[in-house]
Chains A and B, each alone.
Chain A
Amino acid sequence: MNDSRTDDAASTAQKKEVLSFRLGAEEYCLDILSVQEIRGYDTVTSIANTPEFIKGVINLRGHIVPIVDLRIKFRLSEAKYDSTTIVIILNLNKKMIGIVVDSVSDVIAVPVADIREAPRFGSAINTEFIAGMATVDQRMLIVVNIERLLSSDDLQLIDQVAA
């Protein structure tokens, strides 16, 4: 569903809008169409027998939404929770998932032609989950394939999507 929408956007504007966020020193971005909303971090209810990076669940207007802390998952920065901690609520395959990141920068329109295949290099996130790289205004952005990341084996947060 997401893919077709992305295609539409690409064919009309030839640009893909992405939301950029920081994890430690690196700047990542993800397809804006999978973002439902951005909110502050609130107390979560923890769930037994889950990995440390699954913080628990929150109440989002009556929906029970799991929260994943990508900072813990990728050991990128110290996981602090204060009034400035950000949660990006994603809507993937009709499921809602919240991810905790260090900060959200802005929404950038990246020309589709500028998104290159990622070279095999040592970013904290396995290249398997990287859709590509782009440079906008001298900033290097890593475009994350968030669906594949969240449906990966150790997370298993959403049903496997067709690759």
Chain B
Amino acid sequence: MSLDLSRFHATFFAESLEGLNQVEEALLSIEQRGHDKDALDAIFRAIHSLKGSAGSLGFGVIAELAHDMESVLDRLRQALMPVSAESTNVLLRGVDCLRNWILAAEAKEPMDAAAGAGLVRELQLLLQRKVEAGSETARHAAAEPAAGKRRYVIVFRPAQDFFHSGNDPARFIDELAQLGELESTVDLSALPGMQSFVPITCYLAWRIKLETAASANDIREVFEWVSNCCALEIEEAPLSEAAPESAAGEAGAARGDVAGGGAAEVRRDAGLVTMHVRTEKIDELVNLVGELVITHTMLRQTAQGLDAIKDARAVSVFAQLERNVQDIQERVLAIRMMPVNHVFGRFPRLVRDLGLQLGKAIELKISGEQAELDKSVIEQLIDPLTHLVRNALDHGIELPADRLSVGKPAKSTLSLHAEHRGGRFVITVTDDGRGINPEMVKRRALEIGLLNSLEEFDEAAMYAMLLKPGFSMAQKVSNVSGRGVGLDVVSENVRKLGGSLDIQSKLGTGTTFTINLPMTLAIVDGMIVGAGGERYIIPIAFIRECLQVSSVNVQSVVGQGQVLQLRGDYIPVINVMDICALQGGQVVQPVLVVIEAENRTIALQVDELLGQDQVVFKSLEANYRKVEFMAGASILGDGRVALILDINEIVKQHATIRALSRNQPVAAVV
């Protein structure tokens, strides 16, 4: 039977990669905590099912390597072989290799088979060696079950959609045959007539008599990776009687047909704890809920005239509606939330490997990994966090000898912590390393010309310096960090997510990086401003301060527009009306909003500040196209649209914004 297996590939890739991540995690935990039967069993099962799926989907190379890893794991879990750094290393590299192959297969690229050959050799070496060492126990363990050879009657009834998942029943029967002597009969009773026969439906069932030294669990294990799409009955039968049992079994099997199918159904339902939903569907839902909230606000405004006594019923219904709407909004936004563990989960491995490479002993402490954050934010956190962790390992944490000499324990601690704090999401990366030396930062800054010797250099200035582009403390370039693309990139990435990066460091004690993020990208903290009769939104993350024009010094520079003189700095002033080509009259008290982005500062002049709000970010490109200087749009409480200013673009291109010939310059308006 030829089936197009490719449509199962996507599922296989996703499941296998997930499985490999779990294996990696479990291997690392075993390395730290020592032999752990449950964890080893879990790893064994994961690799076993990977082997099974890979084999049946035609990824022979993957199946072979998985097989060898499985053999080693089997020894480990039966304690025939001690868990050692060596075995963990080989297994971890095996995981890497499998992952690379799967990724290559996913990208339809050739797999690097050579990478596996060395690993297979190492695994086999490991096996041989340990067989010698553990032969005593092995012989002992093998001898025990051999004494009692048993007979099992196995009814294997694949679900009707068994073939849909790319499985071949013969494979399992072959595998059973390896356990002992086997006799199998096919049950054709479910086979329909030719008219209603569907070739891709599995109508067959098998009744297998097996004489083996293996246990019922071993048999179950053979069917492990199809356990959710078949019904399996294993009965132990005495060795002597065989014939009468089989006749009764036939009838039982026919009856079991219905029951067996039902059991498989139930089991599959139980497995359906999570489901994949397309992101667009959720976004659509978020959209509609946003709309519901606005409609509700408008309704509430209409209902304000209700009399609390006369319209008591209506008032209580409105209160009820308000609660329901809030609940719905919270739940719907929660759908997009994922535990931050998706990012944190990759660090144990990174820290272990880097620690070995750098010769540093590091204990990684992760806390708050269950805290949830919007999926889109999580994905974009991976790079900045990886950077911070590498940075801490390379620069922050000292070598064990250096640590001992200053009276610290040789093993250093790196903590990753996540928590919700006042509607924001806060992640801290803390090391107990050497801390940042202000003198060295100052010297380095002077060296590369980011600082002139006259400038004041305090703690705040030092942290600011660390975030400047091109600043790197590394004396020489290593492959861990210190390529000169440094903290400024992290800071910029975090800022793009609407967040901020803070540094706290104490010389000799350690450094803490704090990333402060909004809970979601879909919602922006915005300052609503009025200009020329329209309303615009400035994301609060960019705002440094707001000033009354009348209270500060704004000057005209010929040919250069307006300049604000603020604490010794000259900041260009741009009128939002010019950005938006609006014609407006004179305003009594215009306001300057000082914004900072891309390491530049400018002041935006607006007519008035209308308030702060959390607004739902919407793209203008969905139905229209990109609009110059606008990041998107949002819908305000009254149901009207307001545009969100693209601060990055405005800061970059502010020189191109030409002031309209308005009669009076800003300073004269006062």
The reply to whether B287 and A63 form a contact with Cβ atoms under 8 Å apart is: yes
Chain B residue with the shortest CB-CB distance to A44: B641
Bound-state Cα–Cα, A23 to B620, Å: 28
A residues 13-36 touching B (CB-CB < 8 Å): none
The reply to whether A64 and B623 form a contact with Cβ atoms under 8 Å apart is: yes
The reply to whether B622 and A61 form a contact with Cβ atoms under 8 Å apart is: no
**What A residues does B635 contact at CB under 8 A?**
59, 62, 64
Given A45-B534, A64-B633: A97 touches B623 (CB 8 Å cut-off): yes
**What A residues does B633 contact at CB under 8 A?**
45, 57, 64
**What A residues does B643 contact at CB under 8 A?**
45, 47
* Interface membership of A96, Cβ < 8 A: yes
* Interface membership of B352, Cβ < 8 A: no
Partner of B640, one of A43, A47, A48, A157: A43
The reply to whether A65 and B623 form a contact with Cβ atoms under 8 Å apart is: yes
Chain A residue with the shortest CB-CB distance to B619: A64
The reply to whether B627 and A48 form a contact with Cβ atoms under 8 Å apart is: yes
Total chain B interface residues with beta-carbon distance under 8 A: 29
* Interface membership of B628, Cβ < 8 A: yes
Bound-state Cα–Cα, A100 to B166, Å: 56
A residues 77-103 touching B (CB-CB < 8 Å): 95-97
**What A residues does B581 contact at CB under 8 A?**
48-49
* Interface membership of A156, Cβ < 8 A: yes
**What B residues does A59 contact at CB under 8 A?**
294, 635, 639-641
**What A residues does B641 contact at CB under 8 A?**
44-45, 56-59, 64
The reply to whether A62 and B629 form a contact with Cβ atoms under 8 Å apart is: no
Chain A residue with the shortest CB-CB distance to B291: A62
**What B residues does A65 contact at CB under 8 A?**
623-624
Output the residue of B620, B624, B627, B643 with the most chain A CB within 10 A: B624
Partner of B642, one of A45, A96, A97: A45
Bound-state Cα–Cα, A65 to B640, Å: 12
Bitwise, B622-654 to A at CB < 8 A (1) or not (0) is: 111101111001010001111100000000000
Bound-state Cα–Cα, A156 to B627, Å: 13
The reply to whether B628 and A66 form a contact with Cβ atoms under 8 Å apart is: no
Partner of B620, one of A43, A46, A49, A64: A64
Cβ of A132 to closest chain B Cβ, rounded Å: 28
Partner of A48, one of B290, B291, B582: B582
* Interface membership of B580, Cβ < 8 A: yes
Cβ of A50 to closest chain B Cβ, rounded Å: 8
Chain A residue with the shortest CB-CB distance to B579: A48
Bound-state Cα–Cα, A65 to B620, Å: 8
Chain B residue with the shortest CB-CB distance to A50: B627
Cβ of B281 to closest chain A Cβ, rounded Å: 14
Chain B residue with the shortest CB-CB distance to A65: B623
Bitwise, A117-145 to B at CB < 8 A (1) or not (0) is: 00000000000000000000000000000
The reply to whether B623 and A62 form a contact with Cβ atoms under 8 Å apart is: no
Output the residue of A48, A96, A156 with the most chain B CB within 10 A: A48
The reply to whether B620 and A57 form a contact with Cβ atoms under 8 Å apart is: yes
* Interface membership of B288, Cβ < 8 A: yes
Chain A residue with the shortest CB-CB distance to B632: A64
Given A45-B534, A59-B635: A66 touches B287 (CB 8 Å cut-off): no
Bound-state Cα–Cα, A55 to B580, Å: 14
* Interface membership of B296, Cβ < 8 A: no
**What A residues does B496 contact at CB under 8 A?**
none
Chain B residue with the shortest CB-CB distance to A98: B623
The reply to whether B534 and A46 form a contact with Cβ atoms under 8 Å apart is: yes
Given A43-B640, A45-B641, A59-B635: A66 touches B290 (CB 8 Å cut-off): no
Partner of B291, one of A50, A58, A61: A61
Chain A residue with the shortest CB-CB distance to B577: A48
Chain A residue with the shortest CB-CB distance to B288: A62
Bound-state Cα–Cα, A47 to B633, Å: 11
**What B residues does A63 contact at CB under 8 A?**
287, 618, 622-623
**What A residues does B624 contact at CB under 8 A?**
57, 64-66, 95, 157
Output the residue of A56, A58, A63, A64 with the most chain B CB within 10 A: A64
Bound-state Cα–Cα, A11 to B100, Å: 54
Chain A residue with the shortest CB-CB distance to B620: A64
Q: Given A59-B635, A64-B641, output 8 extra A-B contacts at Cβ < 8 Å.
A: A46-B534, A46-B582, A49-B581, A57-B641, A63-B618, A64-B622, A97-B623, A157-B625
Q: Which residues of A contact B (CB under 8 A)?
A: 43-50, 56-59, 61-66, 95-97, 156-157
Q: Which residues of B contact A (CB under 8 A)?
A: 287-288, 290-291, 294, 534-535, 579-582, 618-620, 622-625, 627-630, 633, 635, 639-643
25 contacts between A and B (CB under 8 A): A44-B641, A45-B640, A45-B642, A47-B630, A47-B643, A48-B579, A48-B580, A48-B627, A48-B628, A48-B629, A49-B581, A49-B628, A50-B627, A59-B635, A59-B640, A61-B288, A62-B287, A62-B290, A63-B622, A64-B619, A64-B624, A66-B623, A66-B624, A96-B623, A97-B623
